[in-house]
Amino acid sequence: MLEPHHDGSELYVPVRTPRLGEVVPVRLRVPGQAPDAVWLRVVENGEPRVYPATPDGSAGGEHWFTAGVPMANPVTHYRFLLVGPQYDGGQAWLNGEGLIARDVPDAADFRLTTVEPGPAWARDAVVYQVFPDRFARSAAADGHDRPDWAQPAAWGDEPVAEGPGTGSQFYGGDLGGIEEHLDHLERLGVNTLYLTPSFPGRSNHRYDAATFDAIDPLLGGDEAMASLSTAVHARGMRIVGDLTTNHTGVAHDWFDRARTDPASTEKSFYYWTDEHPGYVGWLGHASLPKLNHNAPALTERMDAVVTRYLTDPIALDGWRIDVANMTGRQGADDLTHEVSRHLRATIESVRPDGVLIAEHFHDAGADLVAGGWHGTMNYSAFTRPVWTWLAGDSGLPFLELPSPIPHRPGPAVVATMREFGAAVPWSVTTRQWNLLGSHDTPRIRTVVGSRERVEVAAGLLFTYPGTPVLFAGDEGGAVGTTGEHGRVTMPWDQIAAGGGPDWDAETFALYRRLIALRAENRALREGGLRWVLAEDDAIGYLRETADDRILVLAARAPWAGATLPAGLGCAENLYGGGEAHGLRLSGDGPTFQVWRLH
């Protein structure tokens, strides 16, 4: 399946961020018969311009070409035109979706951007998501007063899957409990802790904040958060918080003042309506009044919140923004790009290496070229296609859709990943938060139905471009049919004993091996992405840097096997124990295999 190839990695584009007006050399790689000519098409100030690409050597049966992209605009689009008799009609375009022998829109063109990509640590991170109520209870948790909204549950009770009890079931996990179990994170190999909201609310998920002025006393308050942050940083790890810029809770002190005092500054912070209940709730939820980012005073207030928790003594390393795709969007208002750029500038003013990640469940392409979010929780380009390829027969709904998860073949999955990936610059791709599930989705073990397919899914997670994110418990085979049902407590007694009915030690071991594999191989963190295989039941790609080349094979079921081009060299197995006879890949499955090519 080797095609002509280009991406934004170091083999094809200089690593540093280009400047406006600079001419950036970009390289193209063409296997087999060399084209008669290669042209570079660049959109400059809205007008397509064409420049010749010059031959730049040959090696391993592949031909290189180089051309210059003038950075006429902060985000500059380009693609290649290959001319020769080997292409249908005598010519074909190469863009982010691959080689296409017809005219195509600009949506999948390659992109260069003058916007800095964000901190290097974020690209190299392995993120561990914790839902504080369900991770661990410290001894101090027993001394916390139980709130009036809470329905107490014993540790280990099955979470409610749906209905009114989902937001009120209360297990009492706290920040001290997380700090006591940082050894688990370190043993697993993760290096970044992401906490869902820690502000007081009237629910176990705390996305309905009652104030941004303090950490929830139920979690231990500001002192416990500062202690956790200090402990995390002492281990060379990072910690990221969760903030709702789209809404507050109905009990929030801003909203209380807005409702009780029509002359208050806070009145301008929200959207109001003549219809019941008199204000706009997020997606119609009266418990979550929608914030109006037209208010300058709201911007100032949010700036204070953002910066306070990024500085000592709490010193978070960045924020994940809840429902970022809706922040600043309401009716005729569309302020999302303005809000995201301002948030990024605010973060960088106090923490230049701070990260800003957006929650976004669908196509985030347009929002990711605006210079705001460093990346998104990458459901569209990673989670959804992986689910559709590996899903078992659970009949689970397909995220927000009212239909079950579809079963799709490898070529459709690869096409989906390429199409969504092509919508953003490579500098964003390398910082997308790839995930197999979260506190908002069923568990990956329940989605795919077997440990063998979990290994395939996890293998993709830790070898695909971007930042891998796992939800606490996935590494032990946690199950759950909905987001709420999957918010299970960590079975610490079973973990200490080396396994049990709620903790699969073999799954934990494979997660550890895959995380270590990623840490040990720069190509899996920084390398390009070149697809080499897309069969119904098997997919494969290369991750390449200037000094390394790694081949990844994932198979969901037994398949026919394949022979890769001889120019790829010989193979040394790094994971999976499989043999490549020359470059003949066996048809075993389910399996996940990684080789280094020499």
Write out the DSSP string of 299-335.
Answer: HHHHHHHHHHTTSTTT---EEEETTTTTTTEETTEE-
Domain boundaries, given as residue ranges, for the chain: 22-113, 120-523, 528-597
Structure tokens at 380: 């569209």
**Overall fold of domain 528-597:** Immunoglobulin-like (2.60.40)
Bond before 590 cis per omega within 30 degrees: yes
User: Which DSSP state fits 312?
Assistant: T
Helices assigned H by DSSP within 59-131: 120-124
Distance CA 442, CA 440 (A): 7
pLDDT at 395: 84
pLDDT at 581: 66
**How confident is the model over 499-537, as pLDDT tens digits?**
999 999 999 999 999 999 999 999 999 999 999 999 999
Which tokens in the block code for residue 8? 């934004």
pTM (2 d.p.): 0.96
Model pLDDT, residue 582: 66
Domain 22-113 in CATH: superfamily?
Immunoglobulins (2.60.40.10)
Cβ atoms of 213 and 165 closer than 8 Å: no
The reported pLDDT for the residue numbered 544 is 97
Two tokens, residue 90: 């005598």
Q: Using alpha carbons, select from 110, 39, 2, 93 the residue that is nearest to residue 544.
A: 2
Note the pLDDT of residue 444. Answer: 97
- The answer to whether 83 touches 37, Cβ cutoff 8 Å, is yes
Whose CA is closest to 60, among 527, 440, 583? 583
Whether the domain at 22-113 and the domain at 528-597 fall into the same CATH topology: yes
Which helix H or strand E contains 380, and what residues bound it?
none
In the structure encoding, which two tokens stand for residue 163, read together?
């209905």
What are 178's two structure tokens?
A: 């997380």
Q: In the chain, which residues have pLDDT < 50?
A: none
Sign of CA dihedral 366, 368, 373, 377: positive
C-alpha dihedral, 7 to 12 to 16 to 18, nearest 10°: -80
CATH (residue range 120-523):
3.20.20.80
Residue 496: burial class (beta carbons within 10 Å; 0-12, 13-18, 19+): exposed
Residues 6+ apart with CB under 8 A from 361: 325, 377, 379, 380, 399, 400
- Measured from the Cβ of residue 274, the count of other Cβ atoms closer than 10 Å reads 5
Q: Which two tokens stand for residue 320?
A: 């994940």
